[in-house]
Structure 1
Amino acid sequence: MLCLSGLSVALALTLVPSSTDALKEGDCEVCVGFLGKFYQLLQEEDVKFDSTAIEKALVKSCKDARGKDNRFCYYIGATSDAATKIINEISKPLSYHVPVEKICEKLKKKDSQICELKYDKQVDLSTVDLKKLKVKDLKKILEEWGETCKGCAEKSDFIRKINELMPKYAPNAAKARTEL
């Protein structure tokens, strides 16, 4: 009987998730961020919570994804050029309202690259002096907005384009700049 109870204790310990499995603060930043926004969108649009409907909505959301969100979509197979397809690892748990952190923990085990994605630091457009930024950073701002600057040759061209588009993409920053 002693052996049996030792076996049951060992079995119970294997069923308890280890502390290394749990996500730490900042882990899987893109996964948690993207899936959190996606889950909220599903609720707002009143999408039926079955895995097929969720998969379709996920693929649709990934078509508009940019930057790190697009890279995440590629890793899970929700883009047309992806080599693997593990979107069912997201759609099925989401259909049961599993927290996105738990979904990301499982995805981390499948593909560690998913949790290595980090968002780039965001520039505070309301306070930054655009003239002091590098052209590379100005291009990145436009890219995040899904915009390009055709015909831009000088730094001032990029700054002008950003100031022109700021009310559309960063209205609070545009308002703060006009108050200065």
Structure 2
Amino acid sequence: MFRQLLIAAFLMLLVIRQTSAAEECEVCVKVMEDIRATMSKEDSRKKPEIEKAMGAYCGREDLSAREKKICYYIDPIKRDVAQPYSLGMPSLKVCQRITKQNPEICTVKFPVKTEKMEQKDLSKLRVKQLKQILSQRGVECTGCVEKDEFVKKVQETEHLATDEF
């Protein structure tokens, strides 16, 4: 009985750790998944084809600023990215591996979605998330102590919300 409980707890810890790692490199994982989706099964095993697919993906005009930033980071190390990619390594593992060469890759994150949020929706967020929203907008809430003050400041700076850095 104790052994089964211990195994279940270990598996839960493993799942929680894996999801937090995916959130850590969320933009990189999305870019890698999008590149993989554009390729055929045979081409995903060939390094030159992977490099071409990366170039084609990064050359698109409809990429967000964060995706362009990841492309900027992986452009000089395309061959290092193509190697594990050609072996069928999952996108998260590829991102973790290339983070060893360029630690900034996993620091690029998607913004917290706030558009058209009501007062009650913002009040459900944690203070840390509210501070993160404000920092993404380039605003500092000096003198804010209570959660309600942060919510009010986020609503006041709604016009500053963009996808740019």
* TM-score of the superposed pair, with normalisation by structure 2: 0.55
- Deviations for 1:93-133, whole angstroms, at most 9, x for unmatched residues? 222211111111111111110011111123456x77xxx87
Gaps of 5+ in 1: 1-22, 78-84, 144-180
User: Residues 37 and 122 from structure 1, CA distance in 2 versus in 1: closer, same or farther, beyond 3 angstroms?
Assistant: farther
Which residue matches 1:148? Answer: none
- Taking the aligned partners of 2:22 and 2:97, their CA distance within structure 1 comes to 16
- Taking the aligned partners of 1:42 and 1:75, their CA distance within structure 2 comes to 21
Gaps of 5+ in 2: 1-19, 119-155
Q: Is the 8 Å Cα contact of residues 38 and 53 (structure 2) preserved in structure 1?
A: no
SS in 2 for 1:24: helix
- Taking the aligned partners of 1:31 and 1:102, their CA distance within structure 2 comes to 11
Which residue matches 1:174? Answer: none
Q: Is the 8 Å Cα contact of residues 89 and 107 (structure 1) preserved in structure 2?
A: yes
- Taking the aligned partners of 1:136 and 1:27, their CA distance within structure 2 comes to 25
Which residue matches 2:53? Answer: 57
Q: Is the 8 Å Cα contact of residues 89 and 103 (structure 1) preserved in structure 2?
A: no
Which residue among 67, 70, 82 is the counterpart of 1:69? Answer: 67
SS in 2 for 1:86: helix
Which residue among 25, 38, 42 is the counterpart of 1:41? Answer: 38
Which residue matches 1:177? Answer: none
Q: Is the 8 Å Cα contact of residues 27 and 67 (structure 2) preserved in structure 1?
A: yes
User: Residues 91 and 25 from structure 1, CA distance in 2 versus in 1: closer, same or farther, beyond 3 angstroms?
Assistant: closer
Choose between structure 1 and 2: higher helix proportion: 2
- Taking the aligned partners of 2:21 and 2:157, their CA distance within structure 1 comes to 33
* TM-score of the superposed pair, with normalisation by structure 1: 0.51
Matches within 5 A, 1:16-165: 24-43=21-40, 48-49=43-44, 50-64=46-60, 65-77=63-75, 85-123=76-114, 134-137=158-161, 140=162
Greater RCO (CA < 8 Å, at least 6 residues apart): 2
Q: State the Cα distance separating 1:25 from its structure 2 match.
A: 4.5
Which residue matches 2:127? Answer: none
| Structure whose CA Rg is larger | 1
Q: Is the 8 Å Cα contact of residues 47 and 54 (structure 1) preserved in structure 2?
A: no
Q: Is the 8 Å Cα contact of residues 54 and 95 (structure 1) preserved in structure 2?
A: yes
- Taking the aligned partners of 2:33 and 2:24, their CA distance within structure 1 comes to 14
- RMSD over aligned Cα atoms: 2.7
Q: Which amino acid aligns with 2:72?
A: Y
